[in-house]
Amino acid sequence: MRLELLEYYLLHYEDLPRCAQASLEWLARHAGVRRSICLAMDGDAGLLVGVAGVGVSADDLEEYSAPLSHTHDPLVRALTAPAPTTLRSGRDNGLARHPGFGSASVLAVPLRGDRHDDGDAVGLLLVKAGTPVTGSVNWLATVLGQKLDQIRGRGSLTEELRKLRRERALFFTIINSVTDPIMLTDTEGRLIVANSRAEKLFAATEEESEGRRRAVELNNMLFSAALSRTVVEAPSEARELLLVDPSDGSDLLFEVLSTTVEDPREGTGIVSVLRNITDLRRATEQIEENYQRLRVAESAVRAERDRLNLIIDSVADPIIVTDQSGATVLMNDPSEELFTVAAEAPSTAQRTVQSNDAHFSSFISGLLLGESGPGEIRRGEIGLMNPLSGEPIPVEAIAGKVLTETGELTAVVTILHDRREALERTRLYEQLRVASDELQMRVQSATAELATQNELLRRQAIELEQASRLKSQFLANMSHEFRTPLNAILGYTHMLLQGVAGDLPANIRRQLTRIDSNGRHLLTIINEILDITRIEAGKMPMQVSEFNLNELVPEVMTELDPVISRSKLTVTSRLCADAPVMISDRQKVKQVIVNLLSNALKFTHQGGIEIGVDFDASSRIATITVTDTGIGIAPEHHDKIFEDFRQVDDSPSRQYGGTGLGLAICRRLASALGGRITLQSRLGEGSTFTLTIPAEAPQ
């Protein structure tokens, strides 16, 4: 190994800095001394200067420059010391520190040449204090000292050094100014020269953190691997290399361009330029992602637009969307029929389309220019025409603004609603209204006429009522006037029959009896007419009292006993065990029963008569039935007999007497009592008259 150094570097290199540099690098490789500086004496300039360094920067190296005249300078002193000297930090060397070594103490090993036996060294090898001064170090110090001495003897070190330093400084300035890491490595990837960017990735000192060193180690491995592939596979092609950022551990992606260089002295090396494409890649990915997103959004928009178009086209009313300048952006099919026309269409159609367009434009211009409130809707009527048929189409236009989130007008949507149907409806409605008005007028006039008629009828009714009242009054008066003479006739006849004028011959008595009976008959007629008159004149008011039918019926029978006895008929009564206390007009009820029983007696020649009393508790209706075995009444005469002055036989020669007013009075009385009289009878099979009245008479 030592031979290697001697052979390749010390023998071949003739300039001092290179030789020193190679030595130090050898020391780093083989003795593990990762940081070292070589100082050499420049006799002409009288300076001790740094000529080479490993693990230190060029700037640091330049800091080492001590005039030899400064014999108190620790470095100068170390030069003359017989053995290696330890220089403590800060104090011993006059400098604030040992550049390149930080605050650590430095071991200065004198380098001595063969020619100077006086013992003065020609240079110093600075290593970190505490570095074991192994055989390798001592050996190198000896070899390097001799080599430096040889070279020094051949020419001016200072001149050469200055030139070299300038070149070197320039070189580092250049490569450091490149923002991409640049480095020269051997074929195994070991660093020979690197700019500061590369050093950050691939070099770490002992002092640096564990993580950082590990990252650097990893980067070196990755780079070596990449480099070997490059050399083997495709020497001049760019490759991507993923490294770790030692400062924060993040991934860094580089594009590596490596070129193999051949140097006759240094052998084969590889220059690599690493271009950081991490951001580029990220940006690319971002762009890719955005592009995908855009594609998706675009397809969604397209689908949305298709759907919107479908909807808009399916609307029967024309829809037009215009932008803020009034230019048409979108229109549906019905719209197109109004606002577009084929180029080959007749000129009239072209003009109509232009006219339609002008109408529409003037309509929305108000909305575009005018006062713009959000959500403002403009309505208006536009007279359009069908371009093909020339038929006028009145439309109602409803336009609304479409605003952006910031409230800027982006579009106006207008819907045109064909008003022909509405107008037609309005026209029909108007017709209907006219017809309705006419009808109403007719109804009103008819109603007025009806009211007139009603008024007329009302007056007639009043007149009739007056006439009826006059008739009743007349009859009442008449009956009174009848009675006065009748009173005298009956009175004198009676007196004569009573024998006031003495005994009468039988024939005269018989004749007087005729006068008497006819007079009585006449009185009955007059009384009955008076009854009807009184009822009709309302002069027979209800006299309500409590009574019992089970007592009233025998009373009637007793009253008519003379007639019953004369008739030789069996008259029986069938009373009711639960007959109620009637609250009604006793006199009127009695009059009806008397009348019905009198009739039964009159029209029955053999057999019997039964008066029955019944009561229905649930409806509180009482019934009095008078059933005879008399001549009966044919059904066709059932209604007739209840009429005034009517008997079944109305002829002057009729068999049965009576006024024919009895049932008519009964009917009126029953009605006044809140009830009615019904008849069940057939000719020759007797009759049953039924009086039906409520237990409580209506008030």
Partner 1 sequence: MTTEHGPLILVVDDYQDAREMYAEYLQYSGFRVAEAKNGNEAVAQARSLKPDLILMDLSLPGMDGWEATRVLKADEETRHIPIVALTGHALAGASEGARKAGCDSFVTKPCLPDDLVVEVRRMLNAVKQG
Residues at the contact surface with partner 1, assessed by CB under 8 A: 476, 479-480, 483-488, 490-492, 494-495, 498, 500, 523, 527, 530, 534, 539-541
What's the closest the beta carbon of residue 595 comes to partner 1, in angstroms? 17
**Which structure tokens are listed for 7?**
């052979």
Question: Measured between alpha carbons, how far apart are the two ends of the chain, in Å?
Answer: 154
Q: Which residue has the tokens 């009605």?
A: 671
Other Cβ atoms closer than 10 A to 355: 14
As measured in angstroms, the least distance from the Cβ of 566 to partner 1 is 20
* Smaller CB separation from partner 1, 73 or 528: 528
Count CB atoms within 10 A of the CB of residue 268: 11
Q: Which is nearer to partner 1, 330 or 490 (CB)?
A: 490
Rounded to whole angstroms, the Cα distance separating 213 from 205 reads 8
Residue 492 C-beta: closest distance to partner 1, Å: 6
Distance from C-alpha of 126 to C-alpha of 35, rounded to nearest angstrom: 9
The full DSSP string for 388-403 is: TT--EEEEEEEEEEEE
Q: In degrees to the nearest 10, what's the CA dihedral of 585, 589, 592, 594?
A: -120
Query: DSSP secondary-structure letter at 540?
Result: S
Work out how close the CB of 500 gets to partner 1 at its nearest, in angstroms, rounded to a whole number: 5
Element (H, E) at 224: helix 210-232
- Taking the least distance from each CB to partner 1, the nearer of 282 and 520 is 520
Task: Indicate the residue among 478 and 621 with the shorter CB distance to partner 1.
Answer: 478
* Torsion sign across C-alpha atoms 290, 295, 299, 302: positive
Number of H helices and E strands in the chain, helices first, is: 17, 23
Cβ-based nearer residue to partner 1, 149 or 531: 531
Instruction: State which residue, 335 or 533, has the beta carbon closest to partner 1.
Output: 533
The dihedral built from the CA positions of residue 591, 592, 597 and 602, taken in this order, carries a sign that is positive
Residue 77 or 483 with smaller CB distance to partner 1: 483
**What residue type is assigned to position 205 of the chain?**
T
Q: How far apart are CA 52 and CA 44, in angstroms?
A: 19
Distance separating alpha carbons of residues 426 and 417, to the nearest angstrom: 15
Q: Choose between 331 and 540: whose C-beta lies nearer to partner 1.
A: 540
In the complex, minimum distance from the CB of residue 495 to partner 1, in angstroms, rounded to a whole number: 6
For the chain, helix, strand, coil in percent to 5 are 50, 25, 30
Neighbours of 131 (CB within 10 A): 19
Nearer to partner 1, 411 or 523 (CB): 523
Distance from chain centroid for Cα 646: 86
3-state secondary structure 54-121: ECCCHHHHHHCEEECCCCCCHHHHHHHCCCCEEECCCCCCCCCCECCCECCCEEEEEEECCCCCCCCE
Count of positions (residues) in the chain = 699
Cα separation, 231 vs 262, in Å, equals 14
How far CA 327 is from CA of 399, 413, 414, in Å, comes to 14, 12, 13
Question: What are phi and psi for residue 24, nearest 5 degrees?
Answer: -65, -40
The distance of closest approach from Cβ of residue 543 to partner 1 in the complex, given in angstroms and rounded to an integer, is 9
In this complex, which beta carbon is closest to partner 1, that of residue 484 or of residue 558? 484
Is 484 or 655 the residue whose CB approaches partner 1 more closely?
484
Minimum separation from the CB atom of position 502 to partner 1 (A): 11
Closer residue to partner 1, CB minimum distance, 370 or 491: 491
Minimum distance of partner 1 from residue 533's CB (angstroms): 9
Q: For partner 1, which is the closer residue by CB, 131 or 595?
A: 595
Minimum distance between the CB of residue 485 and partner 1, rounded to whole angstroms?
Answer: 8
Min CB(484)–partner 1 separation in Å:
6
The nearest distance, CB 483 to partner 1, in angstroms, is 5
Q: Whole-number minimum distance, CB 519 to partner 1, in Å? A: 9
Rounded to a whole number of angstroms, the minimum distance from the CB of residue 480 to partner 1 is 5
The identity of residue 302, as a single letter, is R
